Structure 1
Amino acid sequence: MRVKVWDLPLRLFHWLLVLCVIGAVASIKLGGEWLVWHERLGLSIIGLLSFRLAWGVVGSTHSRFVSFFPTPRRFMDYLRGGWHGLGHNPLGALSVFALIGLFGFQAVSGLFANDDIAFSGPLRNLVSSSLSNDISSLHRRTEDFLYILVGLHVLAIIVYRLRGKKLVGPMLHGYKHAAPEQSEPVRGGGWIALLVALMIAGAMVWLASGVWIEIPPPAPAAPAW
């Protein structure tokens, strides 16, 4: 039987994050005038991840972190073939948390980074030049880990597909096939929860944008004489 697993907000988050990450990588490679889009996409990623963290608490059943957190017991059950959940399996859960953590680090570190030429993150002025340079170095070096983790994620999708398990389809339409005893009503994730999550995401984007930082007035020009 078909059962609803992934709610619409979670599915939209997933695909918007994919698009924003691809755009952020492409814009940094293009450089030049595209760097302004790199910053905008970075802020969008912060908003999306903030939404996901909130939705992991107030969202519907299978979107909540507590429903799929990879505890040792769940992981051992999965390795022994005794795990039969509908949401993320323990291995997939590890991938979810790793991706959220890495994307989050990249997005937040980019707020304080600079390229020594023309680009400075929106919160660059809140830290010293040396600290900004250190953060910029970490931001660039961590990019390789992002490629590795995303590559492993895509490889896992392909392997599961070859084994007859579809992961992409359910993330598009939200439904999975399950035995009757596995089905359970999906709870939570209503309009109030959605509004709360969106407000948190909006507040985090506002903070990350740095528009609240007062720019000091320019120093008075020295007299010509």
Structure 2
Amino acid sequence: MKKIIRVWDLPIRLFHWLLVLCVVLSFITVKIGGNAMEFHALIGYCVLTLIIFRVCWGLVGSHHARFIHFVPSPKGLVNYILGKTKAGLGHNPLGALSVLALLVSLGLQATTGLFANDDIAFEGPFAKYVSNDMVQFLTSIHYFNEKVLIILIALHLCAILYYQKFKGENLIKPMLLGDKEIDPSEEAKYLPADLGQASKDGGLQRGFALLLLSLIAVILGYFITN
């Protein structure tokens, strides 16, 4: 009988898919340009809210969402690559680096967007607080980081396809339903401590996550609109 373990709580799953939606819409609106840039900016604020929430949830959230439980040390990363250590139920060490890279790149994109100026139809709400040279510098980072972000997303998608095709592991299903099904014959692949540690995903956990997200959105919205 397969062992079913709750790996991704509802807050993490909603964060993930809302972020996916925001990223897709951001690319669409920036290509349309014109009046769509206002919507592009709104999406950017949503992305920044989600990223800040994920960082906070990585500190106080459920077991497998916490950075301390999946971000590897340099030695741990090397040992995993050499096959000397087992993978965790959530992100393996290489997957953890991919997640961190995406969070940093998306956070940088959303933050620089607050200062960006396309010299046509859009100026970020914080552009007026810095010099023109700084606006140009941050705008150039915003444009360059878009290419970096595309590469990271492509690598992320390739990794999902690789695990599905060559390792027979569906990474999308747990992110949709929250649970990971583990066959007894596969238990040896994972850290023993992780096999007995499910993520809390009750009403209290979800309510706290909603409160945290709301506070972040309100505080960020206050600074952006004022």
> TM-score band, normalised by the shorter chain?
0.7 to 0.9
- Structure 1 counterpart of 2:106, from 75, 97, 103: 103
Show the counterpart of 1:151: 154
Residue in structure 2 matched with residue 16 of structure 1 by the alignment: 18
Distance 1:101 1:54 in 2: 14
CA distance in 1, matches of 2:51, 2:219: 10
Q: Give 1:200 shift.
A: 4.3
Number of aligned residue pairs: give it: 211
Q: 1:3 to 1:26 in 2, by over 3 A?
A: same
| Amino acid in the other structure paired with 1:197 | L
- What is the alpha-carbon root mean square deviation over aligned residues? 1.8
How far off is 1:169 after superposition?
0.6
1:187 shift after superposition: 4.4
Residues 173-192 of structure 1 aligned to structure 2 (within 5 Å): 173-178=177-182, 179=184, 182-187=195-200, 190-191=205-206
Once residues 161 and 115 of structure 1 are traced to their aligned partners in structure 2, the CA distance between those partners, rounded to angstroms, is 40
Partner Cα separation in structure 2 for residue 208 and residue 156 of structure 1: 37
Specify the structure having the higher radius of gyration (Cα): 1
Please tell me the residue identity of whatever aligns with 2:173: G
CA shift for structure 1 position 2: 1.1
**Unmatched runs of 5 consecutive residues or more in structure 2:** none
- Contact preservation (8 Å) 1:44, 1:205: no
When normalised by structure 1's length, the TM-score is: 0.87
CA distance in 1, matches of 2:221, 2:136: 24
**Contact map agreement 1:50 1:200 (CA 8 A) in 2:** no
Query: Any idea what SS the aligned residue of 2:105 has?
Result: helix
Gapped regions of structure 1 (runs ≥ 5):
213-225
**For each residue in 1:141-162, what CA deviation from the matched residue of structure 2 results, as whole angstroms up to 9, or x when unmatched?**
1111111110000000000001
Aligned to 2:175: 171
Runs of 4+ off more than 6 Å: none
Output one character per residue of 1:104-148: Cα deviation in whole Å (capped at 9) or x when no partner: 000000000001122101111111122111111111111111111
Report if the CA contact (8 A) 1:50-1:204 is conserved: no
After TM superposition, the structure 1 stretch with the greater mean CA deviation from structure 2, 13-22 or 193-202, is 193-202
SS in 1 for 2:5: strand
Contact 1:111 1:208 in 2 (8 A): no
Describe the SS at the equivalent of 1:10.
helix
**Conserved 8 A contact 1:60-1:186:** yes
Match of 1:2 in 2: 4
Contact 2:7 2:198 in 1 (8 A): no
TM-score, normalised by the number of residues in structure 2: 0.87
Matched, 1:160 2:173: no
Q: State the shift of 1:74 in Å.
A: 2.4
Question: Could you tell me which of 41, 44, 49 is aligned with 1:42?
Answer: 44
2:31 aligned to which of 29, 32, 36: 29
Change (3 A) 1:204 1:95: farther
Q: What is the rounded CA distance, in whole Å, between the counterparts of 1:138 and 1:186 in structure 2? A: 37
- Distance in 1, matches of 2:219 and 2:98, equals 24
How far has the Cα of 1:87 moved from its partner?
A: 1.1
Identity between Structure 1 and Structure 2 (%): 42
Aligned pairs (5 A) from 1:57-96: 57-81=59-83, 82-96=85-99
The answer to whether the Cα contact below 8 Å between 2:10 and 2:206 also exists between their aligned partners in 1 is: no
